[in-house]
């Protein structure tokens, strides 16, 4: 069960989002933004507790924990989380170095640091086995966590997951002065809009509201330094099939049948590698089923959970 709420309540704080969030117009976006909380998480990664942002809604015996993709935030789950929370206790957290979680200087923001921070977030607020869900890069983070802490992960859900291809090509540019240029390139609204459009089959989803959700965390202090550090570390490298074969949890692989970011071949490659897994295709959908086909995605997850 979740730890003593009377104790946790004194540590959990409301979080003041960047001013640009006030320009959100879609009800799911404004509602999730209003529900974001913050808590100081003590970890071995830093001498100081790390102010960590998260969302928690719903109730059930086994909670779900949602992990967002690269250079994203909990706002990525603005449509999926409330749909899941109707029947399940659902958490989403901003991973170390991403979203609205504090980026302290002196941290390497490696995948090992991300995993350590995630473990201590889980230990502090959840502290019971979870159904772990990762989207895109969050899928690689979920796989990594499941392999290290198998006793914590009851089931695994991968949505158009990274983990079978290499790290970001930006790695080659992460040295001065090109490292700052590379992050400013990613900050450019036109570049981000182009990436957003590529993520959807139905380009109408790449709205102004979606652009604000995808970029609001860029206003956080040290955004570029943390991104440079993560990319220099190599990010999430491909998992070997022999490693993936160690995953014993039931695993649901959800994949948009029109994914133009990662393609579609990796869905069946994951299925071949992970013993107790199955692929469910989300039809007429791009790289982000949790945004483009949120209710269908939630229904498939609920079926799997039960």
- Segments making up each domain of the chain, as ranges: 5-305
| The pair of three-digit structure tokens given for residue 44, joined into one six-digit string | 């071995």
Beta pairing, strands 37-41 & 50-57: antiparallel
CA dist 161 and 270 (Å) reads 9
User: What is the model's pLDDT at position 165?
Assistant: 82
User: What is the model's pLDDT at position 124?
Assistant: 96
**Cis ω on the peptide bond leading into residue 177 (within 30° of 0)?**
yes
Nearest to 91 by CA among 11, 13, 37: 37
Report helix, strand or coil for 218.
helix
**SS3 per residue for 55-88:** EEECCCCCCEEEECCCCCCHHHHCCHHHHHHCCC
Sign of the Cα torsion 274, 259, 77, 75 reads positive
Distances 126 to 119, 129, 182 between C-alpha atoms, Å: 10, 8, 37
User: What is the model's pLDDT at position 185?
Assistant: 77
CA dist 66 and 84 (Å) reads 11
In a 13 Å sphere around the CA of 168, the CA atoms on its Cβ side amount to: 22
Nearest to 297 by CA among 137, 66, 26: 66
CA dist 80 and 302 (Å) reads 11
User: What is the model's pLDDT at position 167?
Assistant: 58
CA dist 255 and 239 (Å) reads 18
| The pair of three-digit structure tokens given for residue 283, joined into one six-digit string | 């039809």
In a 13 Å sphere around the CA of 272, the CA atoms on its Cβ side amount to: 8
Cβ atoms < 10 Å from Cβ of 17: 20
CATH architecture for the domain at 5-305: 3-Layer(aba) Sandwich (3.40)
Phi/psi of residue 100, each to 5°? -105, 5
The parts of the chain modelled with pLDDT lower than 70 are 1-10, 166-179, 181
User: What is the model's pLDDT at position 7?
Assistant: 46
User: What is the model's pLDDT at position 6?
Assistant: 42
Nearest to 199 by CA among 261, 256, 291, 262: 261
Cβ atoms < 10 Å from Cβ of 205: 17
- State the pTM of this model: 0.94
User: What is the model's pLDDT at position 182?
Assistant: 74
User: What is the model's pLDDT at position 1?
Assistant: 40
| The pair of three-digit structure tokens given for residue 46, joined into one six-digit string | 């830093």
Nearest to 114 by CA among 77, 143, 90: 143
Beta pairing, strands 277-282 & 50-57: unpaired
Place of tokens 């209710």: 295
Residue 177 makes CB contacts below 8 A (sequence gap 6+) with none
């Amino acid at each position: 069960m979740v730890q003593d709420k009377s104790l946790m309540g004194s540590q959990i704080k409301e979080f003041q989002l960047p001013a640009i969030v006030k320009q959100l117009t879609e009800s799911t976006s404004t509602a999730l933004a209003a529900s974001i909380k913050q808590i100081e998480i003590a970890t071995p990664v830093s001498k100081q507790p790390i102010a960590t942002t998260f969302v928690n809604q719903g109730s059930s015996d086994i909670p779900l924990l949602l992990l967002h993709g690269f250079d994203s935030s909990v706002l990525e789950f603005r449509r999926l989380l409330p749909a899941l929370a109707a029947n399940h206790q659902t958490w989403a957290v901003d991973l170390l170095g991403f979203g609205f979680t504090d980026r302290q200087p002196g941290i390497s923001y490696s995948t090992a640091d991300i995993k350590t921070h995630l473990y201590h977030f889980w230990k502090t607020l959840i502290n019971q086995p979870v159904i772990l869900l990762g989207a895109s890069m969050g899928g690689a983070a979920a796989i990594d966590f499941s392999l290290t802490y198998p006793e914590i992960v009851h089931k695994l859900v991968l949505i158009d997951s990274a983990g079978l291809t290499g790290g970001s090509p930006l790695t080659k540019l992460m040295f001065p002065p090109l490292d700052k240029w590379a992050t400013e390139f990613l900050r450019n609204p036109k570049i981000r809009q182009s990436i957003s459009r590529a993520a959807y089959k139905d380009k109408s989803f790449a709205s102004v509201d979606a652009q604000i959700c995808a970029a609001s965390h860029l206003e956080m202090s040290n955004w570029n330094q943390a991104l440079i550090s993560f990319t220099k570390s190599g990010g999430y490298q491909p998992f070997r099939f022999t490693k993936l074969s160690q995953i014993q949890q039931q695993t649901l692989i959800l994949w948009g049948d029109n994914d133009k970011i990662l393609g579609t071949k990796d869905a069946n490659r994951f299925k071949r590698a992970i013993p107790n897994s199955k692929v469910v295709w989300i039809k007429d959908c791009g790289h982000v089923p949790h945004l483009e086909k949120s209710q269908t995605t939630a229904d498939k997850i609920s079926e799997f959970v039960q």
